[in-house]
Amino acid sequence: MAAFYGTFAFMGASGRIYNVDAYFSDTVDGLVRFDGGAGASSTSPDSFNAPEPVVLIDMAVASGASSTTKIQLLRNNQPTGDFLRYSLHSASNSIRPPLRIGFRPGTEIRAIQKA
């Protein structure tokens, strides 16, 4: 199993774009780690708090995983019903599917890695 990196792009209601780097441990049922200000790593926070109403507009991962194939998004620890497959959201894929997954201000956004 090899860890890899990616970026989540959120668009705020203000029009601001929040590019949040992420660390994927490639461990089934492991939480994705979000950059808390010092770069994404295995010790980074396991959530991102929406500072305003935001919409997840893109996710790009640097490389494919070997143990996990997708992530499940969580909104305040509740599944949103959305699964994002790494193969579709590879940074090398120039035609990644568009995303429009909304989160209210103060929402704790998490992602859990699935097989």
pLDDT recorded at residue 65: 66
**pTM recorded for the entire structure:** 0.93
Residue 1 pLDDT > 80: no
Which of 66, 69, 68 has its CA nearest to residue 2?
66
The residue to which tokens 């919409």 are assigned: 55
Query: 52-105, pLDDT tens digit by residue?
Result: 999 999 999 987 667 789 999 999 999 999 999 999 999 998 899 999 999 999
Q: Which residues contact 67 (CB under 8 A, 6 or more apart)?
A: 1, 26, 27, 28, 115
Mean pLDDT of the 18-36 span: 95
For 28-47, b where at least 16 C-beta lie within 10 A, e where not — what string? eebbbbbbbeeebeeebebb
